[in-house]
């Protein structure tokens, strides 16, 4: 991490206040961080050594770090069934990442995904859709590009491609009543 020269660091403007051994406030720390020097940091440590840090950098990034779980709860006394927690990115992406084989779970009585343009789902292995009742697909155009399965167009399946123009293909056409 790049540091600014010592002569450009204003250590006199720094304020460091300790409220006992577990909590402190560090303001105007001139040391460079990921997004510039620190405007403020609220630092706390538990008896187990778990650290919580909330702060703001001169680059405008607010950060919330915690060694264990972060819980956000809203709406306990809400009178309506409106929005209790809102996360909004005004001019950029919102990224949620679960590292070390973690899962991202969304649980509700009903889930709606709205997109003004496209929805893309990329799975490294399998994509499973399961519905207790039915699955409806509504579209002007629906395509299936697969080598096997009951949705794969018959002429594009792996076996049809391998056997096309062979004796087995002609034999199957006679039994099935259609050309492979």
Q: Is residue 84 part of a domain?
A: no
Q: Is residue 74 part of a domain?
A: no
103-157: pLDDT as tens digits: 999 999 999 999 999 999 999 999 999 999 999 999 999 888 777 777 766 666 6
Which of 17, 43, 68 is where one domain is finished? 68
Q: Is residue 24 part of a domain?
A: yes
Which positions ≥6 away from 11 have C-beta within 8 Å?
A: 30
Q: Is residue 64 part of a domain?
A: yes
Domain, as residue range, for 163:
145-180
57-71: pLDDT as tens digits: 999 999 999 999 999
86, 44, 87: which is closest to 68 by C-alpha?
Answer: 44
Which of 17, 52, 68 is where one domain is finished? 68
Which of 68, 87, 109 is where one domain is finished? 68
Among the residue ranges 49-53, 75-79, 124-128, the one predicted with the least confidence is 75-79
d(CA 38, CA 62): 10
Q: Is residue 78 part of a domain?
A: no
Q: Is residue 7 part of a domain?
A: yes
Domain count, the chain: 2
């Amino acid at each position: 991490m790049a540091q600014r020269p010592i002569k450009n660091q204003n250590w006199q403007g720094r304020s460091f206040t300790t409220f006992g051994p577990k909590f402190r406030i560090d303001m105007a720390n001139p040391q460079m961080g990921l997004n510039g020097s620190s405007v403020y940091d609220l630092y706390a440590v538990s008896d187990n050594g778990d650290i919580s840090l909330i702060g703001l950098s001169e680059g405008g990034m607010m950060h919330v770090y915690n060694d264990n779980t972060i819980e956000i709860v809203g709406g306990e006394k809400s009178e309506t069934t409106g929005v209790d927690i809102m996360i909004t990115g005004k001019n950029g992406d919102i990224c949620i990442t679960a590292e070390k084989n973690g899962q991202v779970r969304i649980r509700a009585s009903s889930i709606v995904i709205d997109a003004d343009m496209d929805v893309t789902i990329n799975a490294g292995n399998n994509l499973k859709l399961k519905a207790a009742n039915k699955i409806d697909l509504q579209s002007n155009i629906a395509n299936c590009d697969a080598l096997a399965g009951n949705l794969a167009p018959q002429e594009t399946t792996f076996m049809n491609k391998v056997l096309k123009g062979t004796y087995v293909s002609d034999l199957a056409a006679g039994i099935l009543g259609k050309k492979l």
